[in-house]
Structure 1
Amino acid sequence: MQLNLGLTVNDDDTVSGQLLLTAPKSVLKQRNPDPAVAFAELRPNIPSLPPGAETRYEDATSYGIQITYRKTPLAQFTSESVNLVRDEDLIRFSLPLDPNKYGGKFGQQDPRQQQAFMTLMAFEISVTFPGRVLDTNGTVTGRSVSWKVVANQPKPAELRAVAQAPPPPATSPAAVVTGNGSFPWLPVVAAVVVLLLVVAVAVVLLVRRRSRGAVPPAATTTGPVPAGTGAPPAPGAPAAPAPPAGPPA
């Protein structure tokens, strides 16, 4: 059987890609004329795979299943075979090639068959990470790591890779931390100081503008109105005395 896998780890801690598990039709038909039935009999020999949208796959020479991953949360991408996990600021990929995990159905009959089943397995894997690749036993191309393990050849104990991970998506202000796990107090304090200075300057400018634009109030008098101004007496006030009459003619 052959396992083909192409995955991309996204910045938001999700995984997208496809997994293809197939077997040659020529081998399947030796077990059963119906490839679907023969494949179903062989599949229990493969460790569990990360769950996803599964469909049937078939071409001229192979038959199997295809699993599609669309923004699958990284926390759910674990299985007995393929594993992708976040370890603080690292993302770790692993695919154990332990014969004890393969050929389980054959192993119930003869444990030696497990090693034979693993020898016949082929793997073609590619994983693209959001950050720089730090360690792997595969081939690195930029931020991608690939492995090609052919059938009937010695195999490593596992396929592995470690890459840098972006900061986890912040869900609240408390989730924002620096690289050493502490809250970034210095930038926050600096931002508050700048904001207070801006507010103080705005208040000073506003006060000055109001002071320059103010008009002094008109002068008012509190004494009696001079005579001869022609102003009528206030309602209810006694009339002013008439001037004395002149001498008789």
Structure 2
Amino acid sequence: MLGLLTRRVLVAAAALGLLFATSGCLRIDLGLEVRPDDTVGGEFTAAWSDEFMAHASDQGLDQAQLEAFLDALLDGVPGTERTPYAEGGYTGATATFTDRPLSEFAEFGGDDWGYLRIQHTGREYDLESHWDLRAAGFLDPAQFAGAEILLSVDFPARVTEHNGTLEGRTVTWTMTPGEEYDLNATAVANNGIAFLIAGVAFVLVVCALLWLWQWRRLRRYSIGNPSA
């Protein structure tokens, strides 16, 4: 899907002839949720900055052209639900998809721009990704200077390693055209058997302490009252 996405970015930009320098005008946001049943849901957002929209006519662009560009980006994203997006000074649309097998993300991408791999082995979830946004044909930094490309992944386990920004169990990476990025993250699920054993051991220790406290209390009472 990411390989398809990057190709759609190129096709959409070329088809609409958006050959102008625009700083921070575009936000592309892909959010994935990895679930315990090894399925993946997510949202893909494409939006223009409100500041750019206010001056788009100065570039000879009208509202229909801008909406057509976003439609071209969103076209083909799995799922059919599409909702308006307005957040952080950006306005556009979000396409939502659900219940994609995690296996689809084991070998994801692999084109000239990069790849994303998410694998689940035992208790461990591993993400490895590489994006070369300097590659010819992607969003030209001269045309889309400061365009914001976000990738966030919500793991079903505690994140133990990452090189992005962590909030709870979600790791987010922010990228821009003209740069190269290596992304990685590891999440580890709790060992259910070990947790159960630890819980049982805790209960036994508490019971033993209560029994010892009660025994000492009875013994002290018996010594202090020999006639009892």
TM-score by length of 2: 0.50
Using CA pairs under 8 Å that are at least 6 residues apart, name the structure with larger relative contact order, 1 or 2. Answer: 2
